[in-house]
């Protein structure tokens, strides 16, 4: 089955849930309603041989409605095809079905999206924060989260003052040296 046939099979089967199709540089993206994503992913794996979930990411389209998108990057080991599925998630509801029942690897991807963007995955077996501590009231990858961070009253856990945006141990020094030699981890102590 070619990628065009695969796309046609998805469009035919889930026509009522299809919101859009985009082709760019040989990559196909299909956008669906979020309430059908678990069934669409299951069909993609079982019937279309997309057995590998490469990644799940999210996008914050701050100022637009719906605000968020969840993006599924699928790959078929059998056919060598890549497919991207998207779902739009409105800010006021901010939830989508979990695909952990389809691919177990979705577990950590969904937890990270929940932790960083605040999108909840309904039916997830263990939806808790993965990078930030429990009880942290913000979502750091949202576009309305300030780059300098937020002040905190917990000095042992987070900065109590704004973190500087320039300097620091991870900034390379300008020079004519190669990137490898300019990287902070390549520098010797005492330079």
CATH number of the domain within which 130 lies: 3.30.460.80
| 68 in the same domain as 125 | yes
Round to whole Å and give the CA distance between 57 and 46: 22
What is the tally of structural domains in the chain? 2
Residue where a domain terminates, one of 127, 145, 163: 145
Chain centroid to Cα 21, Å, comes to 19
Task: Please give the residue range of the domain that contains residue 141.
Answer: 3-145
pLDDT (tens digit per residue) in 88-97: 999 999 999 9
**Percent of the chain at pLDDT above 70?**
77
| 26 in the same domain as 100 | yes
| 177 in the same domain as 85 | no
| 135 in the same domain as 185 | no
CA angle 17, 18, 20 (to 5 degrees): 155
| 127 in the same domain as 33 | yes
| 189 in the same domain as 114 | no
Q: What does pTM read for this prediction?
A: 0.78
Nearest to 67 by CA among 95, 38, 108, 32: 95
| 177 in the same domain as 94 | no
| 172 in the same domain as 134 | no
| 174 in the same domain as 127 | no
- What confidence score (pLDDT) does residue 103 get? 96
pLDDT (tens digit per residue) in 109-154: 999 999 999 999 999 999 999 988 888 888 999 998 887 666 666 6
Across residues 69-77, what is the average pLDDT? 97
Going by the DSSP 8-state scheme, the letter that residue 16 receives in this structure is G
Residue where a domain terminates, one of 109, 126, 145: 145
| 121 in the same domain as 79 | yes
Bridge partners, 84 (sequence order): 29, 73
pLDDT (tens digit per residue) in 56-66: 999 999 999 99
């Amino acid at each position: 089955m070619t990628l065009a046939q695969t796309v046609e099979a998805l469009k035919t089967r889930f026509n009522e849930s299809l919101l859009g199709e985009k082709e760019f540089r040989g990559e196909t993206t299909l956008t669906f309603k979020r309430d059908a994503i678990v069934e669409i992913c299951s069909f993609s794996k079982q019937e279309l041989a997309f057995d590998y979930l490469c990644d799940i990411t999210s996008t914050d389209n701050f100022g637009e409605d719906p605000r968020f998108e969840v993006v599924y990057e699928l790959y078929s080991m059998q056919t060598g095809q890549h497919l991207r599925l998207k779902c739009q998630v409105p800010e006021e509801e901010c939830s989508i079905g979990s695909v952990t029942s389809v691919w177990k690897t979705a577990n950590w991807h969904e937890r990270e999206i929940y932790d960083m963007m605040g999108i909840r995955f309904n039916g997830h077996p263990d939806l808790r924060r993965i990078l930030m501590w429990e009880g942290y009231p913000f979502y750091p990858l949202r576009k309305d989260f300030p780059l300098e961070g937020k002040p905190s009253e917990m000095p042992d856990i987070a900065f109590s003052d704004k973190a500087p945006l320039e300097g620091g141990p991870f900034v390379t020094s300008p020079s004519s040296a190669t990137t490898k030699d300019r990287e902070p981890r390549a520098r010797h102590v005492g330079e």
